[in-house]
């Protein structure tokens, strides 16, 4: 399934470009990171954080993990969910190190927006955004982060997928909480919403996000978080875009979201408010897309058949 002409944009910490699972599947990308060490709240930056360029090399492992879920060859882990679709990575997050010596992604909003726009201009059909800023960190009247670039993407028909967050609370993270973005929470192996998964009315659905085997910087990692749930949904969006393109149907983000929600499987435990309408079901989503296109085509044929020609009049 999928189509190499359908590209998924990955805005993240970069990708381990020479990973055996990824090197044949990843297109050339870009590095938009240029961080001021004095403007990151006292964090200790590591790796390359000042030199933008053509190589989106990962210093954290987060982006590589997302990339594996999307397009891994499947030699030492499950194959990526996007089939034959291509992946274009842009490094929008640099690397910082915490007190426990673990690395994590950190970024500046303008770096992220620059990288996002680059992906859009490169012609990607879907963008995965496994990062976010909580509403609690923002001034009440200030514009929400990434608002302008989200509108830019939507005006060009790009399907946007974002992780809901890992706070375990009911709150809004951006870009996931923007209108038209498909916000994704996480479930465990029992299909129950994960305790860490951020909830809210904006969350569309959930996908696997606990004990995920995927690519690391070197080898493999066992990952947890809504960051790793979002790529499962982005992969299915790419498959849906491929199917729609073969049928010459212009699939937009709103229709894609609606079909994903309508085709989702129920949670193993009911009554988890704010976790969306269920769990991602790729096969059901593709069937729902076919049914949707078939119905729209029947409606169009019916409308055409109901139009009666009017007699022509020639002015004297």
3 state SS of 37 = helix
pTM of this prediction?
0.94
**Cα(29)–Cα(292) distance, rounded to whole angstroms?**
34
The answer, yes or no, to whether residue 306 has pLDDT greater than 70, is no
Q: What is the CATH number of the domain that holds 291?
A: 3.40.50.200
More confident call, 268 vs 94: 94
Q: Is the pLDDT of residue 313 over 60?
A: no
Predicted local confidence at residue 309, as pLDDT = 60
User: Residues, the chain, total?
Assistant: 316
206-257 pLDDT, tens digit each: 999 999 999 999 999 999 999 999 999 999 999 999 999 999 999 999 999 9
Confidence of residue 82 (pLDDT cuts 50, 70, 90): very high
Average pLDDT over residues 255-262: 98
Strands (DSSP E) along 210-276, which ranges?
A: 212-215, 220-223
173 located within any domain: yes
Catalytic residue among 12, 48, 57, 113: 12
Q: For this structure, is 18 an active site residue?
A: no
Give residue 5's pLDDT. Answer: 97
In a domain, 90, yes or no: yes
What pLDDT, on a 0 to 100 scale, did the predictor assign at position 39?
86
| pLDDT of res. 294 | 97
Domain that holds residue 39: 7-305
Calculate mean pLDDT across residues 71-86.
98
Residue 2 located in a structural domain: no
Does residue 145 belong to any structural domain of this protein?
yes
Domain presence at residue 191: yes
Q: What is the mean pLDDT of residues 125-152?
A: 95
Query: What DSSP character marks residue 199?
Result: B
Q: Are 226 and 256 a contacting pair, CB within 8 Å?
A: no
Supply the pLDDT for residue 153: 98
Kindly indicate the confidence band of residue 305, based on its pLDDT and cuts at 50, 70 and 90: low
Could you give the angle at which helices 109-121 and 147-155 cross, rounded to 10 degrees? 10
More confident residue, 51 or 292: 292
Question: What is the domain count for the chain?
Answer: 1
pLDDT digits (tens, 9 = 90+) for 148-206: 999 999 999 999 999 999 999 999 999 999 999 999 999 999 999 999 999 999 999 99
pLDDT tens digits along 21-46? 999 999 999 999 999 998 888 899 99
In the annotation, is 304 catalytic? Answer: no
Q: Nearest 5°: CA angle at 116, between 113 and 118?
A: 110
- Does any domain span residue 1? no
Of residues 3, 31, 32, 62, which has the active-site annotation? 62
- In sequence order, the β-bridge partners of residue 81 are none
pLDDT at 140: 82
pLDDT at 43: 92
Judge whether residue 9 has pLDDT over 70. yes
Set 130, 164, 227, 263: catalytic member: 227
Beta partners for residue 46, in sequence order: 95
pLDDT at 301 over 90: no
In a domain, 310, yes or no: no
The question of whether 275 is a catalytic residue gets the answer no
Confidence bin at 268 (pLDDT 50/70/90): confident
CA dist., res. 194 & res. 196, Å (int):
5
């Amino acid at each position: 399934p999928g189509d190499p002409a359908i590209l998924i944009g990955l805005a993240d910490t970069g990708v381990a470009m020479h990973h055996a699972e990824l090197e044949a599947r990843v297109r050339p990308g870009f590095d938009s990171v240029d961080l001021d060490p004095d403007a990151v709240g006292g964090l200790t930056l590591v790796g390359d954080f000042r030199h933008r360029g053509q190589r989106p090399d990962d210093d954290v492992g987060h982006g590589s993990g997302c990339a594996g879920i999307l397009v891994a060859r499947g030699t030492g882990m499950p194959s990526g969910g996007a089939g034959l679709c291509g992946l274009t990575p842009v490094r929008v997050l640099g690397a910082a190190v915490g007190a426990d010596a673990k690395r994590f992604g950190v970024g500046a909003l303008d770096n992220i927006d620059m990288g996002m726009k680059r992906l859009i201009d490169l012609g990607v059909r879907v963008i995965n955004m496994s990062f976010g800023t909580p509403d609690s960190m923002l001034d009440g009247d200030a514009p929400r982060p990434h608002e302008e670039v989200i509108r830019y993407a939507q005006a060009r028909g790009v399907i946007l997928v974002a992780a809901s967050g890992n706070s375990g609370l009911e709150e809004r993270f951006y870009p996931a909480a923007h209108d038209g973005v498909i916000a994704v929470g996480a479930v465990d192996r029992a299909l129950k919403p994960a305790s860490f998964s951020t909830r809210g009315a904006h969350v569309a659905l959930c996908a696997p996000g606990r004990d995920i085997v995927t690519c690391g910087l070197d080898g493999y990692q066992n990952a947890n978080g809504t960051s790793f749930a979002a790529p499962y949904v982005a992969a299915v969006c790419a498959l849906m875009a491929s199917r729609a393109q073969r049928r010459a149907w212009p699939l937009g983000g709103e229709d894609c979201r609606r079909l994903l929600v309508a085709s989702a499987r129920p949670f193993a435990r009911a009554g988890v408010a704010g976790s969306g309408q269920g769990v991602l079901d790729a096969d059901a989503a593709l069937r729902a897309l076919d049914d949707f296109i078939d119905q729209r085509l029947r409606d169009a044929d019916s409308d055409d058949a109901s139009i009666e020609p009017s007699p022509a009049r020639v002015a004297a």
